[in-house]
């Protein structure tokens, strides 16, 4: 896919994760005159990025990133270079790899690749961080709206369902934002955890609570054995149900 995107009339540059044991190589040497055989795709094999983590000659330097996942300005140690990423049977792709480690040890070392060889490691990290909102969105729609768990026999139904659920995510978010502006919204609290900002779970619960209060039609008939539920008890049940998956 990376090579196909690079060959487009308007090449698309990609930033993604890279395995620490990925097979990296030097570029293939220039073909000599009258040299027989198929042209080489890659040159000499390079050490894995995992081996570079503890290598004493790895050229680490510090990069300070602003607002790193809500932690404010955060210093990371990075090392970067270009290489050819190759797997048997696939095209060889020239990439810039970025090896990252946290001096504070809060997360394990990891690696990224970028098909734009001129990009600086700090820019690559910035681009990679921008995917966070997309990943959170995909996780929320899987957990709460049933994306990837739908079962249809028709391919067209499958193609329609996922965009519809993603649109529902946007509608719930917009509706919750509007409701929050109209009246205060108390976040749920627990003895072991306190939220400072609402999550999609809270937004979905808020929208459910408001929609359930809208009277659309009434099927129940007036019977003498009907028992009215106290408002406090009804609200407690409503709070429990609106947070149910």
What b-and-e string marks burial along 195-205, b requiring 16 or more CB atoms within 10 Å of the CB? eeebebbbbbb
pLDDT of res. 219: 62
Q: Determine whether 78 is exposed, middle or buried from the number of CB atoms within 10 Å of its CB (0-12, 13-18, 19+).
A: buried
Mean pLDDT value of segment 8-16: 88
Given pLDDT bands bounded at 50, 70 and 90, which one contains residue 18? very high
CA-only gyration radius of the chain, Å:
27
- Say which residue the tokens 């570079």 belong to: 52
**Does pLDDT of 113 surpass 90?**
yes
Show me where the domains of the chain are located. Answer: 2-29+36-119, 131-187+196-214+239-245
> Nearest 5 degrees, angle CA 47-CA 49-CA 54?
95
pLDDT of res. 99: 94
- Say which residue the tokens 């055989």 belong to: 37
Task: Report the phi/psi class of residue 2: left, alpha or beta, with left for phi > 0 and alpha for psi in -120 to 50.
Answer: alpha
Percent residues over pLDDT 90 in the chain: 18
Dihedral angle over CA of 147, 151, 154, 159, nearest 10: 0
Mean pLDDT value of segment 151-155: 78
When mean pLDDT is compared across 66-75, 134-143, 161-170, 176-185, the lowest value belongs to: 66-75
**In whole numbers, what is the pLDDT of the chain averaged over residues?**
82
**Does pLDDT of 20 surpass 90?**
yes
**Does pLDDT of 216 surpass 70?**
no
């Amino acid at each position: 896919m990376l090579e196909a995107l690079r060959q487009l009339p308007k090449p698309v540059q990609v930033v993604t994760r890279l395995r620490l044991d990925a097979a990296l190589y030097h570029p293939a040497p220039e073909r000599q005159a009258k040299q027989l055989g198929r042209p080489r795709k890659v040159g000499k094999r390079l050490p894995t990025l995992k081996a570079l983590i503890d290598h004493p000659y790895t050229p680490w330097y510090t990069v300070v990133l602003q607002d790193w996942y809500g932690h404010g300005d955060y210093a990371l140690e990075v090392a970067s270079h270009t290489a050819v990423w190759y797997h048997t049977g696939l095209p060889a792709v020239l990439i810039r790899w970025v090896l990252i480690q946290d001096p504070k040890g809060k997360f394990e070392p990891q690696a990224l690749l970028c098909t734009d060889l001129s990009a600086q490691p700090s820019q690559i990290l910035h681009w990679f961080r921008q995917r966070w909102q997309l990943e959170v969105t995909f996780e929320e729609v899987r957990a709460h709206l049933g994306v990837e768990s739908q079962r249809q026999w028709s391919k067209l139904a499958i193609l329609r369902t996922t965009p519809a659920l993603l649109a529902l995510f946007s509608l719930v978010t917009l509706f919750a934002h509007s409701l929050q502006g109209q009246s205060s919204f108390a976040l749920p609290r627990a003895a072991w955890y306190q939220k400072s900002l609402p999550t999609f779970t809270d937004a979905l619960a808020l929208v459910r609570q408001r929609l359930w209060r809208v009277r659309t039609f009434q099927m129940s008939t007036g019977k003498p054995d009907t028992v009215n539920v106290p408002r406090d008890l009804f609200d407690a049940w409503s709070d429990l149900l609106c947070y149910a998956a």
